[in-house]
Amino acid sequence: MPTTNDIRAAFLDYFASQGHQIVPSSPLVPRNDPTLLFTNAGMVQFKNVFTGQETRPYNRATTAQKVVRAGGKHNDLDNVGYTARHHTFFEMMGNFSFGDYFKPLAIELAWNLITRDFGLPKDKLLVTVYSEDEDAAALWRKIAGLSDDRIIRIPTSDNFWRMGDVGPCGPCSEIFYDHGPDVPGGPPGSPDEDGDRFVEIWNLVFMQFFEDPPGTRTPLPRPSIDTGMGLERFAAIMQGKRDNYDTDTLRALILASADATGQDPDGQFKSSHRVIADHLRSTAFLIADGVLPAKDGRGYVLRRIMRRAMRHLHMMGTTDPVFYKLLPALIRQMGAAYPELGQAEALIRETMLGEEERFKAMLGRGLGLLGEETDKLPSGGALPGDVAFKLYDTFGFPLDLTQDALRSSGHTVDVDGFDAAMKQQRERARAAWTGSGDTATETVWFEARDRFGASEFLGYSTEVADGEI
Ligand code: ATP
Ligand code: MG
Ligand code: MG
Ligand code: MG
């Protein structure tokens, strides 16, 4: 049975043997795009190559890219622990053609890799195409021999990719694997497509137009290819599992969590262990790439992820900090492929320990308050916004942590009330500000704060233009 590390290497070797340059993953903090929270797709490091602003000494590339989807347009944070196929941190495998090959070879390379080299049975696979993309449908019939009922036409933006309002764009085609009728969920395009039965494993983007101004598309003289395959989803299939969390890497992290907390990995805290395994990866990789927990921006997204994991650890009865104790297990699994983890081990460890020490004291008291307030709620009721705000302001509970904590009892949070309480507090702060006498500076400061204050919540309310693949 191939390990996740074997599969990553086989993917890169395959594309290298087909003339692709193996390019290292770029950092999780994008260097070339300040509007993007985190690198969320393999194509991000190549954005300027696709637009023609930058050239490279190769026109075919392949990567295993670290990505985080915990904010902006792609936010999978709330899926984690609950679906079999979503993570906040994952590895996106990809092959890229910069004006070199296009649809026919892209489809052929992908199909040969998964059916010939990796041996996936054809009758378990189906594909989607953009409804207007007759070329792609014909190529899937011809190259893969797929019958029409296995080529699903999708008319929505899910199958039409755009870099932004202006820039390269084009139809995409996704390859799905059917885990079988025992798993709930319907085929792509059906009302119950959100289940774990039909899993999207690979997205092929055909960049064939340039859009400018918005709404006006002209064909690109040299169209390009951008693809993204989820390594964990593919590893699950190759390892005979239906759930990403049962693959070698993630299972090892779940066992580390079970060991550190003394709680059965498959018992009542099963989803907590999954959340912890996932959040351990995003935490360690983000810190290794220079993000530190903070009150706003990227650092606040990291803090939210860390505190969520810490709440789950706390719930399992741990009294002393434990999150940092899981780090060696991660380095054992992924340190060879990502040496930055080992290089930053001391920093990651100290940051995890420090954050948990600070949060632990407030966490117990905050959960006490939350318990009392939840007891007063009717079934399915919403926690009042001012309580959620107090938890945020006094006990350091990010809003999504409170929401996650209420999820198991079926309660929600009055988010409008929370926002209102936040706004009120801002106004009080403004009124109480006696100031330095420099009115111009103060005005600028408050305006900036009003405009950018929401950055504390960047990650679940702010839409950022990004390189969605
Ligand atoms: P989904 O519809 O399942 O949320 P997506 O269409 O958002 O996936 P893409 O943006 O097309 O995903 O990314 C390319 C590939 O990355 C997907 O085909 C999938 O295999 C993988 N992938 C996407 N999101 C996640 C995630 N949160 N965790 C693990 N793998 C993912
Ligand atoms: Mg998605
Ligand atoms: Mg999708
Ligand atoms: Mg997709």
With a cut of 90, say whether residue 172 has pLDDT above it.
Answer: yes
Mean pLDDT score, 252-276: 97
pLDDT at 433: 64
Amino acid 78 reads D
Distance 245 CA to ligand 3 centre (A): 19
pLDDT band, residue 468 (cuts 50/70/90): very low
Closest by CA position to 371, among listed 324, 314, 290: 314
Secondary structure, 3-state, the chain: CCCHHHHHHHHHHHHHHCCCEECCCCCCCCCCCCCCCCCCCHHHHHHHHHHCCCCCCCCEEEEEEEEECEECCEECHHHCCCCCCCCCEEEEEEEEECCCCCHHHHHHHHHHHHHHHCCCCHHHEEEEEECCCHHHHHHHHHHHCCCHHHEEEECCHHHEEECCCCEEEEEEEEEEEECCCCCCCCCCCCCCCCCCCEEEEEEEEEEEEEECCCCCEEEEEEEEEEEEEEHHHHHHHHCCCCCHHHCHHHHHHHHHHHHHHCCCCCCCCHHHHHHHHHHHHHHHHHHHCCCCCCCCHHHHHHHHHHHHHHHHHHHCCCCCCCHHHHHHHHHHHHCCCCHHHHHCHHHHHHHHHHHHHHHHHHHHHHHHHHHHHHHCCCCCCEECHHHHHHHHHHHCCCHHHHHHHHHCCCCEECHHHHHHHHHHHHHHHHHHCCCCCCHHHHHHHHHHHHHHHHHHHCCCCCCCCCCCC
Which residue among 63, 75, 92, 229 has the greatest number of ligand 1 atoms within 8 angstroms of its CB, and so is best to mutate? 92
Nearest-CA residue for ligand 1 atom 30 is 230
pLDDT at 448: 53
Nearest-CA residue for ligand 1 atom 4 is 86
Distance 432 CA to ligand 3 centre (A): 48
Burial class of 126 by CB neighbour count within 10 A (0 to 12, 13 to 18, 19+): buried
Query: Which structure tokens are listed for 334?
Result: 């992924």
Query: Which structure tokens are listed for 424?
Result: 């009120």
| 68 within 8 A of 50, measured Cβ to Cβ | no
pLDDT at 41: 96
Closest by CA position to 454, among listed 427, 417, 419: 419
Alpha-carbon distances, residue 47 vs 33, 109, 304, 371 (angstroms): 9, 22, 29, 47
Alpha-carbon distances, residue 372 vs 313, 365, 393 (angstroms): 21, 11, 18
| 388 within 8 A of 402, measured Cβ to Cβ | yes
pLDDT at 75: 87
pLDDT band, residue 29 (cuts 50/70/90): very high
- Per residue in 42-95, pLDDT (tens digit) is 999 999 999 999 999 999 999 999 999 998 778 899 889 889 999 999 999 999
| 66 within 8 A of 15, measured Cβ to Cβ | no
Distance 67 CA to ligand 2 centre (A): 12
Mean pLDDT score, 184-197: 94
pLDDT at 446: 53
Mean pLDDT of the chain: 91
Mean pLDDT score, 147-168: 94
- Per residue in 348-358, pLDDT (tens digit) is 999 999 999 99
- Per residue in 272-281, pLDDT (tens digit) is 999 999 999 9
pLDDT at 246: 98
**φ and ψ at residue 168, rounded to 5 degrees:** -65, 150
Mean pLDDT score, 114-143: 98
Distance 73 CA to ligand 2 centre (A): 9
pLDDT at 447: 54
With a cut of 80, say whether residue 462 has pLDDT above it.
Answer: no
Give the residues surrounding ligand 1 with Cβ less than 6 Å away.
69, 76, 86-87, 90, 92, 200-203, 228-230, 232-233, 468-469
- Per residue in 312-342, pLDDT (tens digit) is 999 999 989 999 999 999 999 999 999 999 9
- Per residue in 390-446, pLDDT (tens digit) is 999 999 999 999 999 999 899 999 999 999 999 998 888 878 766 555 555 545 555
Amino acid 266 reads D
Percent of the chain with pLDDT over 90: 85
